[in-house]
């Protein structure tokens, strides 16, 4: 794979690299994105319409069932070459992973994630008192084409347990947002990987990184709103581009 002549050297000399990742990274592991066609029961719904507080209030079993289906997909998936390349770079320099994904594939590949901006499937909590809850061990017994599943109840107050994700219309977790902002302050290189750069405020992160002097590299099969800001636009699947770039950097 060919890269701009100076890019591998930039990567090799970087002191602090941020990987800002989106759904495209996990899609390569088979995790459906919100833009993918749904199947079975879910085909009658727009995925974005299920990811709201209003949807949970109207039909908790529908929304909980959908997230259990997504959690099943994650638990049966494996980190791909992009996750592994990101983790491998941490042996060469400081790496901060800031992700919009709600799965744990970065962690399973060996990365330490400094910010899960949109929450985490494995961190459910009570919708009333906010107490953390736990999923039962193992893979959810969810049929492939979807089913309504009543959410569990909180052990402390008896309220309904909700998925530990950030729904549309909700604020991002303050601690994760702060961690992302602190990472921007010292990064000299930022990779925006597999994200459409359309979901705000997370989409501001590469822009702010560029304003703080970081070199921004975009890895995405398609053009995005970030094209004009990124110093380098690498069009391709992250699972192909990142391992090849890491190898080139180590021989630069």
Query: What is the reported pLDDT for 35?
Result: 76
Please, are residues 20 and 192 in contact by the beta-carbon 8 Å criterion? yes
Query: What is the reported pLDDT for 150?
Result: 95
Q: Can 106 be counted among the known catalytic residues?
A: no
* Catalytic annotation, pick one of 83, 116, 118, 120: 118
Domain positions in the chain: 1-30+78-120+171-252, 32-76+125-162
DSSP state of 160: B
Give me the numbers of helices (H) and strands (E) for the chain, helices first please: 10, 8
Convert the pLDDT of each residue in 116-145 to its tens digit. 999 999 999 999 999 999 998 898 888 777
Class of the domain covering 32-76+125-162? alpha beta
Convert the pLDDT of each residue in 25-77 to its tens digit. 999 999 988 877 666 777 888 888 899 999 999 999 999 999 999 999 999 99
Query: Distance between CA atoms of 62 and 52, rounded to whole angstroms?
Result: 12
How far from 244 is each of 3, 15, 81, 199, 212, CA to CA, in Å?
Answer: 9, 20, 10, 28, 27
How far from 124 is each of 152, 167, 173, CA to CA, in Å?
Answer: 10, 13, 14
- Which residue in the block uniquely carries the two structure tokens 């970087």? 14
Superfamily of domain 1-30+78-120+171-252: TPP-binding domain (3.40.50.1220)
Which spans in 161-250 are helix H? 174-186, 204-211, 238-250
Half-sphere exposure at residue 124, Cβ-oriented, CA atoms within 13 angstroms? 20
């Amino acid at each position: 794979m060919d890269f701009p002549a100076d890019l591998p050297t930039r990567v090799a000399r970087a002191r602090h690299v941020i990987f800002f990742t989106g759904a495209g990274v996990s899609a390569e592991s088979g995790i459906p994105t919100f833009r993918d066609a749904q199947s079975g029961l879910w085909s009658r719904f727009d995925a974005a319409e299920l990811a709201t507080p209003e949807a949970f209030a109207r039909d908790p079993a529908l929304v909980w069932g959908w997230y259990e289906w997504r959690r099943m997909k994650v638990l049966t998936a494996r980190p791909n070459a992009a996750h592994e390349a990101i983790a491998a770079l941490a042996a060469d320099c400081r790496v901060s992973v800031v992700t919009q994904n709600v799965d744990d594939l970065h962690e399973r590949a060996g990365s330490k994630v400094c910010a899960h901006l949109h929450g985490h499937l494995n961190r459910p909590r009570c919708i009333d008192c906010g107490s953390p809850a736990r999923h039962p061990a193992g893979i959810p017994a969810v049929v492939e084409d979807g089913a309504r599943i009543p959410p569990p109840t909180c052990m402390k107050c008896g309220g309904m347990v909700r998925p530990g994700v950030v729904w549309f219309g909700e604020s991002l977790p303050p601690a994760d947002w702060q961690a992302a902002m602190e990472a921007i302050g010292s990064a000299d290189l930022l990779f925006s990987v597999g994200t459409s750069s359309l979901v705000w405020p997370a989409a501001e992160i590469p822009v702010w990184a560029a304003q703080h002097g970081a070199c921004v590299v975009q890895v995405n099969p398609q053009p995005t709103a970030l094209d004009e800001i990124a110093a380098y636009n690498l069009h391709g699947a992250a699972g192909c581009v990142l391992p090849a770039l890491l190898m080139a950097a180590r021989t630069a």
